[in-house]
Structure 1
């Protein structure tokens, strides 16, 4: 088991760090990065614990460490997803001027949500009491049924979408003509969104500046206005190329200086407009750069004989070193030939894994026929510990990627955004909360695909049954 952990644990930590560095905005505070990083690490640690758990169950050598780490990661994700992260998310989203007021606003918003959820749960408990005389066990069963149903049912839909979309999108990306049309369409849409975000940002700046001008220095709200002015000045210093223009004021735009709450709303509006502007700018720039690079690649491929199969980039100067010609040839082979073919091969491989997972899902129902390829492979390798862990690790990792891919796609349409180097604190916290909630259901789903035979139960299943309330799912 330790040989597997020596490879998988650094890989998981590296994935978390690289993902955070790639997506997090420079303005994200350190405590948010630490919280999100820990939540992601706890969630992804399931892909290490599940293979280890399966291996120890098959070999019959149960290690106490596995049970300890299961409990640790389970309760960590529980408190993170249901208490710590939502509170921190509301705190980051609040526009109040003191720590106390921001926490108060966050707790108030979360209490409203929990009151609604609690009311729904109370109705279910009342129904159980009415319908059953022996209702003590029914309440426990109701809590576990609700939790399992939410995680497994919604997780199944997310998994199914990802299993289909990921191989299909990779295959489409390998088609240069199709990818060009897609990028042109996205660039047109993002240009409109970018323009709207620019107008909203300029509007927010105009409101702040106008409110600041009309407020006297002796106004009781002036200290709050100074905080907003300093925040705006810092935003403009961070991007000297940005020039506000076209911000028009409406009739209701000068009502922010009435009390502390309206000033907090003004601060929040400015911050959110700033985040949206740079999010749209980042996405628009990335699409434009990808389209230009694709056009460059197509042009080099069409002129390959004239260029002697050397890649001539339109974005950089030609290599003048001794091995420059050789490097140009290698770059041409990679960009114009190999990458396209490798993407098609990868799409076919992932498509086969997706088909195997979908077929294995059929074995969740009682059946005499084992259709799970992963179960068959696990039984074939028997007690070869490392092979068992590798066989479990690869499909489980892919299932996590598919589920989280669907979460990102769906969430980016309505709730949050995941943008390279421009993802805000609120979006990062929302994403990490959802990831933490779906980590145990994914693991439980995968364990059901591995038929260990007999009455063998993994440590995860034992720990799950022993929990007083399995409400994380």
Structure 2
């Protein structure tokens, strides 16, 4: 009876451990890893316990084992979600210097949250008493139904979004051209985010150094400054490739030396800035490597007759030995032939499962009709225990994947991040809390799709309670109505109804959910240039992202765009060919090798800020809004040159994009110059902002203004 359950438990444990190792940051403490792992294990235990519960209910083989495991997993998940995980999450997010202070901060924040939730629950209880005067039932079951109502309703819409997005996304990403366009946009956007995170981290270091210099040795806050100083030194020691530059002071950045709470805020700011920088650097590296591997795949497929069906990588060392050519051929067959066909087959299978789930959800309301393919399959396999449980587990697992896919995609835009090997403790705890909250509602929703003979209820349904009792405002049968609403929502989403409505009302675009289709209209010229430079740097032995920081600060001045359907190689050659006629500048940034050098740099920055204190507020705001353009002394002269510059650059870009100006170099010469050039990306984009060569006759001073 529990054979499938006991087989799945060790597999679930192994999956949880591997997932934690893959996503968790090296700085995550062991107690956080244990808490997250145990929460995930309990959540997935609920999912693998559902098939065993269905088997025992169909054939009447009730035992105390199922009831015991349900109580253990459900209440463990409940306590972890509402008590343990929020407390540890607040403790990890606090910036206080002692364990007691961090625990107090966590309890205070959670107390405020629980008071808000308790107030809402009290209002709901009052409304329930008003609308259900003659109600009599299980109080515990009613409480469980109330706690899961939010997960049932919102989980249905998350499920609908995932049912349509996962198969559609797999089908679109099979197309190499579509995926290349998306990656070019992602690389360009992530480069800008990485630069912003780099500047924020640099600013946090500058502020920390300035604050430490303000506090004397006899100040009561000196012990806290020593802790921050050690943290700062450890950060720079763990990441010697980080080069602080571009740090700036904000309006209230010199107010951290007032008390220990402000010092705790400074410590928290340092931690968050470093985590954000590491996260964006990891995401940028993954996007760049994926794009470069995709370019290699396309190139090898086009030259398969020349290479003899062997995969030749431009970013990995060549295989040697007797088995080297055989492995190259196997890699070619996998990347260029088999993988694409398997992804298409997977999309078709997942699309059929999604359609079957929607059909089952849509036919819950009719009482005498059973059109659920899963219910028919489970009831038709007879008394074969393993087949019954496998037939129940596969669609339930897919429903969980769809729900968690939507949950992570929405949550990563607002609340947390899920990055391989760079996910912080706070993000891991928040994610495990979300997973635990939605595991029981997903299981309950799946049980509604199964028609058990004689309308028998599973043990889990009895313990969960009836959602009709939790939401009496909609009348009896609400648990059969809300899935139908989800089906309608999913069909509207598949037909892009919401996007069309938002596009029709242009002012509503702020509510539009960003997806891959928005990045597939054409190649991003900035992303293509970044990929070309990263490939050249990799061939020289550098790491991905090692020289990317000075680049993204000039993206806002780029006006060259690549239209949909254009040849991306020719367009990139046109852009880079214009840059190749200038002599390269030496812009190598020296590494900061000691804390004394950083201190001197930050001290000079602080002195410069003090000298500029007499400037007007508008001047300060304008100087901080432009990251790499120096403001001239004369505003009139500056505005004149800015207008001339933008007009000439726009005119020149339009002419070159539309092929009115001849290219100065062929595509082969351009690509070879990219690979052999020692120019930095900062130089390239500085030249992109300059007009044509004729403007150099105006003199060196005018050239500096561009």
Q: What TM bracket, shorter-length normalisation?
A: over 0.9
Normalising by the residue count of structure 1, what TM-score does the alignment of the two structures yield? 0.95
Query: Equivalents in 2 of 1:385, 1:30: separation in Å?
Result: 39
Range 373-382 or range 47-56, more displaced: 47-56
CA 1:129–1:452 in 2, change beyond 3 Å: closer, same or farther?
Answer: closer
In structure 2, C-alpha distance between the alignment counterparts of 1:255 and 1:146, rounded to whole Å = 46
The answer to whether the 8 Å contact 1:362/1:371 transfers is no
Partners of 2:455 and 2:111 lie apart in 1 by 43
Q: Does the 8 A contact of 1:170 with 1:347 survive in 2?
A: yes
Greater RCO, 1 or 2 (C-alpha within 8 Å, sep 6+): 1
Q: Classify the secondary structure of the residue corresponding to 1:328.
A: helix
Task: For 1:415-434, list aligned pairs within 5 A.
Answer: 415-434=415-434
Which residues of 2 match residues 107-146 of structure 1 at below 5 A? 107-130=107-130, 133-134=133-134, 143=143, 146=146
1: distance between equivalents of 2:30 and 2:470?
31
Equivalents in 2 of 1:70, 1:131: separation in Å?
31
Distance 1:133 1:51, change over 3 A: closer
Structure 2: distance between partners of 1:418 and 1:461: 32
2:358 pairs with 1:372: no
Equivalent position of 1:254 in the other structure:
254
Q: 1:36 to 1:148 in 2, by over 3 A?
A: closer
CA distance in 2, matches of 1:79, 1:459: 20
- How far is the alpha carbon of 1:341 from its aligned partner? 0.7
Matches within 5 A, 1:112-191: 112-130=112-130, 133-134=133-134, 143=143, 146-191=146-191
Partner of 1:76: 76
Shift of 1:15: 1.5
Cα deviation, 1:411-460, whole Å, max 9, x if unaligned, reads: 00001011111010000000000110111001111111111110322121
For residue 136 of structure 1, report the CA deviation from its aligned partner: 7.3
Q: Which residue number in structure 2 is paired with residue 297 of structure 1?
A: 297
Alignment partner, residue 235 of structure 1: 235
In structure 2, what is the equivalent of residue 353 of structure 1?
353
- Counterpart in 2 of 1:449? 449
Is 1:11 the counterpart of 2:11 in the alignment? yes
Helix, strand or coil for the counterpart of 2:421?
coil
TM superposition score normalised by structure 2: 0.64
Structure 1 residue 31: deviation in Å?
Answer: 0.3
1:400 match: 400
CA 106–470 in structure 1, closer or farther in 2 if over 3 Å, else same:
farther
Find out whether 1:42 has 2:42 as its counterpart: yes
- 1:29 to 1:121, Cα distance in 2 relative to 1, 3 A: same
Q: Secondary structure of 1:247's partner?
A: coil
Written as runs of structure 1 = structure 2, the 5 A alignment for 1:176-325 is 176-325=176-325
Alpha-carbon separation, structure 1, partners of 2:139 and 2:459:
25
Contact 1:67 1:463 in 2 (8 A): no
Q: Deviations over 1:13-38 (max 9, x none)?
A: 12211111111000001000000000
Distance in 1, matches of 2:423 and 2:308, equals: 43
User: Which is worse superposed, 137-146 or 210-219?
Assistant: 137-146
RMSD of aligned C-alpha atoms? 2.0
Once structures 1 and 2 are overlaid, which stretch shifts more, 230-239 or 137-146?
137-146
Q: Who is 1:26 aligned against?
A: 26
Quick one: distance in 2 between partners of 1:431 and 1:166?
20
**2-structure distance, mates of 1:57, 1:141:** 19
Q: Does the 8 A contact of 1:278 with 1:422 survive in 2?
A: yes
Q: Distance in 2 between matches of 1:392 and 1:145?
A: 23
Shift of 1:250: 3.2
Deviation string 1:273-314 (CA, Å, 9 cap, x unpaired) is 000111111111100010000001110000000001111111
- Residue pair 1:187, 1:288 contacting (<8 A) in 2 also: yes
Bigger drift between 240-249 and 345-354 goes to 240-249
Render the CA deviation track for 1:301-330: whole Å, top value 9, x for unaligned: 000000011111112232221122111111
8 Å CA contact retained: 1:87, 1:106: yes
Q: Residue 361 of structure 2 contacts residue 449 of structure 2 at CA under 8 Å; is this kept in 1? A: yes
Q: For residues 124 and 138 of structure 1, do their structure 2 counterparts lie closer, same or farther at Cα, with a shift above 3 Å needed?
A: farther
Name the CA shift for 1:2/1:453 in 2 (closer, same or farther; >3 Å). Answer: closer
Q: Alpha carbons of 1:139 and 1:318: their partners in 2 closer, same or farther (altered >3 Å)?
A: closer
For the 8 Å contact 2:148–2:440, the answer to whether it is kept is no
Partners of 2:133 and 2:451 lie apart in 1 by 37
Contact 1:416 1:430 in 2 (8 A): yes
- The structural deviation recorded for 1:364 is 2.5
Q: Comparing 319-328 with 231-240, which one deviates more in the overlay? A: 319-328
Deviation string for 1:79-112 (max 9, x for gaps)?
A: 0111110111111000011111111111111111
Structure 2: which 5+ residue stretches go unaligned? 472-706
Give the secondary structure class of the aligned counterpart of 1:454. Answer: helix
Higher share of residues assigned helix:
1
Deviations 1:395-415 (A, max 9, x none): 111111111111100000001
Q: 1:325 to 1:137 in 2, by over 3 A?
A: closer
Contact 2:319 2:325 in 1 (8 A): yes
Instruction: Tell me, in whole angstroms, the C-alpha distance in 2 between the residues paired with 1:465 and 1:252.
Output: 52
Counterpart of 1:236 in 2: which secondary structure?
helix
Assess if the C-alpha contact under 8 Å between 1:256 and 1:262 holds in 2. Answer: yes
Q: If you compute each CA radius of gyration, which structure gives the higher value, 1 or 2?
A: 2
Q: CA deviation at 1:170?
A: 1.1
2:132 and 2:330 mapped to 1: Cα distance? Answer: 73
Give per-residue Cα distances to partners, 1:118-145, cap 9 Å, x unaligned.
1122223333445565577698787455
| Partners of 1:138 and 1:385 in 2: CA distance | 32
Greater Cα shift, 127-136 or 42-51: 127-136
Contact preservation (8 Å) 2:2, 2:52? no
After superposition, give the CA deviation of every residue in 1:367-393 in whole Å (9 maximum; x if it has no partner): 321111000000100211000011011
Which is further off, 169-178 or 119-128? 119-128
State the 1:176 CA deviation: 0.4
Q: 2:132 & 2:311 partners in 1: Cα distance?
A: 75
Distance 2:110 2:413 in 1: 22
Distance 1:450 1:3 in 2: 21
How far apart are the structure 2 equivalents of 1:295 and 1:7? 42
Aligned residue in 2 for 1:341: 341
Provide the C-alpha distance between the structure 2 equivalents of 1:171 and 1:250, rounded to a whole number of angstroms.
46
